[in-house]
Amino acid sequence: MNNANRYIDKSILGIFAHPDDETSSAGCTFTKFAQMGANVTVITATRGELGTLGTGDLSVSRKELPAVRERELSKVLSLFGANPPILLGYKDQEVELEKTEVISGRLRDHMELIQPDVVITFGPQGISRHSDHIAIHRAALSAFNSYEQDTDKKVSLLYVAIPELVAKEFDLDIDGPETQPNVFVSTHEYIDVKVKALRTYRSQEDAQEFAEWLENSSEYYESFKIVDVDEDAVITFENLLED
């Protein structure tokens, strides 16, 4: 089979809190598998209206920021070869105020339409302990469990995860499954796309800082934690998409 069509019948869904979460967490992964035919969709809970107000020569007002970040997100997903974003419309830093079952129900409805084979989202500590990230984890986990029970196909839930040493380098106060990745994606062919995507988020200082870090990094890969497998198991992302 042509490599561009290898996963033509597969679907990957990312569920995140803010525009740019998808890029920092899995930009190379989304690009790689979109180029191999997979249907890639990203659901974003908020428009990130409490983010920074521009970098470099870009200055954005607080009122303008939500629309700016939505445009940035759309451009980035197009760059990945993914579908246009699905925005849930929650307010930045207020996702936790909504009942988990309400968010979960909305996510479950989207899963029913998208029929993902793999779902990528935050783990229990939200990789950075951000309240929106943690709220999305809870809702996505609940939605996935319901979806998994009702589907006949093999489906996998992945948490964004980074090794403990890397977490310390970025001053992330996390432990548990989010520092114990067991699914690794080689990124060397796609790192330029990830950097370009981060640079597209010109409104956000964190995105620019991460892009600079990547440009100066000699080794980088994206990693995830799949739960409910043997503790020492190391799995390739391709394994999750094989029948």
Sorted by where each begins, the domain ranges of the chain are 7-238
Q: Pairing relation of β-strands 235-236 and 183-186?
A: parallel
Q: Residue 186: pLDDT above 80?
A: yes
Helices (H), the chain: 21-35, 65-80, 100-114, 131-150, 164-169, 191-200, 205-215, 237-241
pLDDT given for residue 168 in this prediction: 80
What's the whole-number mean pLDDT along residues 32-50?
98
pLDDT given for residue 166 in this prediction: 81
Q: Residue 81: pLDDT above 70?
A: yes
Q: What tens digit of pLDDT does each residue of 157-167 get?
A: 999 999 888 87
Q: Is 58 exposed, middle or buried (0-12, 13-18, 19+ CB in 10 A)?
A: exposed
Mean pLDDT across the chain:
94
Q: What CA–CA distance (Å, rounded) separates 35 from 37?
A: 5
Greatest alpha-carbon pair distance for the chain in Å reads: 51
Confidence of residue 198 (pLDDT cuts 50, 70, 90): very high
224: which residues sit within 8 A by CB, 6+ positions away?
26, 120, 158, 159, 160, 161, 181, 182, 183, 184, 185, 237
What's the whole-number mean pLDDT along residues 19-30?
98
Tokens 């500590």 map to which residue? Answer: 125
> Could you tell me the CA-to-CA distances from 4 to 1, 42, 236 in Å, in that order?
8, 20, 18
Confidence of residue 66 (pLDDT cuts 50, 70, 90): very high
Q: Residue 160 belongs to what H/E stretch?
A: strand 156-160
pLDDT given for residue 207 in this prediction: 96
170: which residues sit within 8 A by CB, 6+ positions away?
162
Second-level CATH architecture of 7-238: 3-Layer(aba) Sandwich (3.40)
